[in-house]
Chains A and B, each alone.
Chain A
Amino acid sequence: MRAIRLRLNGELACGLGLLALFAVVAICAPLLAPYDPHAFTSQPLERPGPAHPLGANDVGQDILSELIYGARVSLAIAASAATGTVALGTLVGGAAGYTGGWLDELSMRLVDVLMTLPRLPLLILLAAFLGAGPVQTATTIALLFWPATARVIRARVQALRQRGYVRMARGFGGGPGYVLLRHILPEIGPLAAAALVTAAGRAVAMEAGLAFLGLGDPTAKSWGLMIRFALNLSGLLLTDRWLWWLLPPGVCITLLILALTFTGMGLERAWHPGLEHL
């Protein structure tokens, strides 16, 4: 793989910085969180104070700890879902773009159909039947997002296949394996990386959304779940409890998505400076 030069621009720096922050928090959760988020450490709905900087939820668990451990859940699911999406998308899209013919036709028909189906209802359907759990969540998200990636990858591979140097390589007697490895993969790499980051962003949103709807893993301390429980409390909005229970997870979700989006945009900008951006 030839060295991929990365020129840092504003978006990339911003995004990566934030991402790093979340990663650190997630990894060092046990060190940073004051309590075990599953433990009942205080009175239910206790207000923020020195012992509990963000107060406690309706069963007496520390909100701050929930928040910190939530980073793990979100990042983990985002990472796995995104990896699945890009892996599947690259596989199908790459094969379709490179081989052409009936495989291409079939794959693209499948992609078209999948992209027309409304995502969330399908997601809900799948989640309802598959049950809750991190693996299921990641899988369902990946199953829903891979078509978009496949399209993008296929288009690129198709274009590459026509390039002069690829044809030359085949003229030298290089087999498809060689061509894929030596010429196509290095070009696809950056594209797949950018797609990975973007997919991760969408996965975070989706996972939180699913948790919010009650389709996520009820045992995992996800930010979406926190929001769900918070909203379950009647009259939450009429007090100021939302400030420390509802707002923090919402802000965290938003920030993580933004971090991933900026990183994705920054990557695109760094590798394709010609694209019209702001």
Chain B
Amino acid sequence: MNTPLLSVRDLRVYFPPPPLPGGKEGSAIHAVDSVSFDLAAGETLAIVGETGSGKTTIVRALLGLHPPGCVQGSIRLGGQELAGLSEEAWRAIRWRRVAMAVQSVGTAFDPVYRVGEQIAEPLREHLRLSASAAAERVNALAGRLGLESRHLRAYPHQLSGGEKQRAMLAMALSCGPEVLIVDEPTSGQDVLARARLIGLLREICRESGASLLLISHDLAAVSALAERVAVLYAGKLIEVGPTADVLERPRHPYTWGLLNAYPTMSTARDLRPIRGGLPDPTNPPPGCRFHPRCTQAVARCRREEPLLQPLPSLTCGGGAGVEERWIACHLGGLQTLLRADGLRKAFPSTELRACSTNGNGRIEAVRQASLEVLEGEVVALVGETGSGKTTLGRLLTGQLEADGGSIVFEGRDVAALDPARRKHLCRRVQLVAQDPFDAISPRMTVAQVVREPLDVQSIGTPQEREERVRDVLQAVSLPTDAGFLARRAHTLSGGQLQRVAIARALVLDPKLIVADEPVSMLDASEQARVINLLKDVQSERGMGLLLISHDLALVRKVADRILVMRRGEIVEEGPASHVITHPQRAYTRALLQAAPTFAWGPAAKGAQGDEAIASSST
């Protein structure tokens, strides 16, 4: 690897406390804290973060615009150290080697001078060009960006936002900088303007060979333009890696949450906000800055700040492996809750069945199934009846013993555990079954049902158990009064009963819930309520949810990843958005086609779907 063009190490920007009226002092702001990154020549790096994360502060530091004494650390551009330069020295660097296009383009121009003059200004200052030579260059630049001479002759207030945006880019490129910094170029613009701008930026960088540092919270623009992305949270970089990789498989809990909160055309899944709020810049939390909002925080996270460290990359499509992923997390990123490899399970066949025999009288329900569920993730396992998904579910929750393969839960191999530990494991994984009437003893009262796991595991005093029961019933929006607690299970409706089942599953505070067709036996309105409930609870507690279902339409609303299972094998897997919009296998396509929609017209979709499935079973 060549030495990078721009190398930032341990950048820290600190603003002294402002004087408040009344003679008091405000608090100091640590806007940027130990940020390090590299930018290679010709590369595009995106820095992603929300408002107040410190993005603009970094930009200003790279141009030396902060008051002296506020910035510490090293900024090396092409071997020259920029941090600590005098104002005079900075002036020579600014715009010639590093230029920026600011976010608020409406106020970026001096209102009393013509736009063309202002674009030419740095040319005349830095390159000492004559008026005519500068004008020539400006015209050429303007032409490349789609601006006409009438734009150049106009005053800033006479141009539209998009025109000003292009003029600003022209101004930034005028001296041919090595590094172009673009701060939120797409904010506030409509989709068409955004798309045009993204195309423009791509073209410019390709032509001029400049490196582009893109500052944005617009993930779509980032994925279209940047080769690498760095995620900034509260002034610290928490994840850096190749763009496609990071956006597809984010490893840091914050990045993960950010992606979940971001609407795009390809996800039908509902938006989930990240719980909690951004930290106060004058008083950041101790330890990891994200820990108050993180669902997998441990004690160490509260005490120590994690450093940005490299992790082996997890490229989905078999990447080159040279690109590294950097993460700032004590736990190395999102925890893998469950990892199953090559699971096998066969049942002796009581009767010959055409499609799942291997020839020696055994039905292979599950064949070489491997899957993974991360912290806070919803993984959906879809397939037809008889595909083996229920069996797989039972294997994963320990209700059945696998014939082969391994199950690792929270880093521990389940098979290797002794019975005591196994029992303990039950607390961490729970199952919600399809039929609540079956899964709950009809004679028990609600209180007894929900309390049962606590009793079995001997957790807490009876009072504490009562307390817990009430808490968990509240979490599933069921009444907690004595009357309800005393009701017999058989007096409840299907939906209520299923919610009781969920409450029961929650009472041990598990980390993973396996839900096998949790709503298929319920009425539609109840379905909606229960599935939303599951999702709420899951996201709030950071639990993993393995949702087993045949209903693709439902799964689409809640799943992050989808695994398609057919005849005991997992035939396709990937991010939900991918699987639904670009299914790879014919079987998946057939399933999608057959999924319930409101079809109008004589050709019943169902019939088409059946044919498709039949034809694909070769």
**Contact, chains A and B (beta carbon distance below 8 A):** yes
Where the two chains meet, the residues of A that have a C-beta atom closer than 8 Å to any C-beta of B are 7, 273
B22 surroundings in chain A (CB, below 8 A): 7
Q: Give Cα distance in the complex from A273 to B19, angstroms.
A: 12
Closest 3 pairs between A and B when the two form their complex, measured CB to CB: A273-B21, A7-B22, A7-B21
Q: Tell me the minimal C-beta distance from B18 to chain A in angstroms.
A: 13
Q: Give Cα distance in the complex from A190 to B192, angstroms.
A: 50
B21 surroundings in chain A (CB, below 8 A): 7, 273
Q: Mark B6-30, 1 if CB is under 8 A from A, else 0.
A: 0000000000000001100000000
Closest to B21 in A: A273
A273 surroundings in chain B (CB, below 8 A): 21
Q: Tell me the minimal C-beta distance from B182 to chain A in angstroms.
A: 32
Interface size on B, residues (CB 8 A): 2
Q: Give Cα distance in the complex from A130 to B587, angstroms.
A: 104
A7 surroundings in chain B (CB, below 8 A): 21-22
Q: Tell me the minimal C-beta distance from B26 to chain A in angstroms.
A: 13
Q: Give Cα distance in the complex from A7 to B23, angstroms.
A: 12
Q: Tell me the minimal C-beta distance from A159 to chain B in angstroms.
A: 23
Taking chain A's interface residues, is the majority helix, strand, or loop, or is none over half, making it mixed?
A: loop
Q: Give Cα distance in the complex from A222 to B413, angstroms.
A: 101
Q: Tell me the minimal C-beta distance from B41 to chain A in angstroms.
A: 45
Where the two chains meet, the residues of B that have a C-beta atom closer than 8 Å to any C-beta of A are 21-22
Closest to B23 in A: A9
Q: Tell me the minimal C-beta distance from A245 to chain B in angstroms.
A: 44
Q: Give Cα distance in the complex from A273 to B22, angstroms.
A: 10
Q: Tell me the minimal C-beta distance from A276 to chain B in angstroms.
A: 12
Q: Give Cα distance in the complex from A91 to B97, angstroms.
A: 61
Q: Give Cα distance in the complex from A273 to B24, angstroms.
A: 13
Q: Tell me the minimal C-beta distance from A210 to chain B in angstroms.
A: 39
Q: Give Cα distance in the complex from A7 to B20, angstroms.
A: 13
Q: Tell me the minimal C-beta distance from A272 to chain B in angstroms.
A: 10
Closest to A274 in B: B21
Closest to A273 in B: B21
Q: Give Cα distance in the complex from A7 to B22, angstroms.
A: 8
Q: List 3 A-B contacts (CB under 8 A).
A: A7-B21, A7-B22, A273-B21
Q: Give Cα distance in the complex from A273 to B18, angstroms.
A: 14
Closest to A8 in B: B22
Q: Tell me the minimal C-beta distance from A247 to chain B in angstroms.
A: 37
Closest to B20 in A: A273
Q: Tell me the minimal C-beta distance from B24 to chain A in angstroms.
A: 12
Q: Give Cα distance in the complex from A7 to B21, angstroms.
A: 10
Q: Give Cα distance in the complex from A224 to B21, angstroms.
A: 39
Q: Tell me the minimal C-beta distance from B403 to chain A in angstroms.
A: 70
Closest to B22 in A: A7
Q: Tell me the minimal C-beta distance from A9 to chain B in angstroms.
A: 8
Q: Tell me the minimal C-beta distance from B108 to chain A in angstroms.
A: 23
Q: Give Cα distance in the complex from A49 to B22, angstroms.
A: 47
Q: Tell me the minimal C-beta distance from A158 to chain B in angstroms.
A: 25
Q: Tell me the minimal C-beta distance from A196 to chain B in angstroms.
A: 23
Closest to A270 in B: B21
Q: Tell me the minimal C-beta distance from A273 to chain B in angstroms.
A: 4
Q: Tell me the minimal C-beta distance from A74 to chain B in angstroms.
A: 33
Q: Tell me the minimal C-beta distance from B614 to chain A in angstroms.
A: 64
Q: Tell me the minimal C-beta distance from B303 to chain A in angstroms.
A: 40
Q: Tell me the minimal C-beta distance from B588 to chain A in angstroms.
A: 54
Q: Give Cα distance in the complex from A43 to B458, angstroms.
A: 113
Q: Tell me the minimal C-beta distance from A118 to chain B in angstroms.
A: 31
Q: Give Cα distance in the complex from A273 to B21, angstroms.
A: 7
Q: Give Cα distance in the complex from A1 to B222, angstroms.
A: 55
Q: Give Cα distance in the complex from A203 to B88, angstroms.
A: 52
Q: Give Cα distance in the complex from A273 to B23, angstroms.
A: 12
Q: Tell me the minimal C-beta distance from A269 to chain B in angstroms.
A: 8
Q: Give Cα distance in the complex from A217 to B559, angstroms.
A: 91
Q: Give Cα distance in the complex from A273 to B20, angstroms.
A: 10
Closest to A269 in B: B21
Q: Tell me the minimal C-beta distance from A125 to chain B in angstroms.
A: 41
Q: Tell me the minimal C-beta distance from B20 to chain A in angstroms.
A: 9
Q: Tell me the minimal C-beta distance from A101 to chain B in angstroms.
A: 31
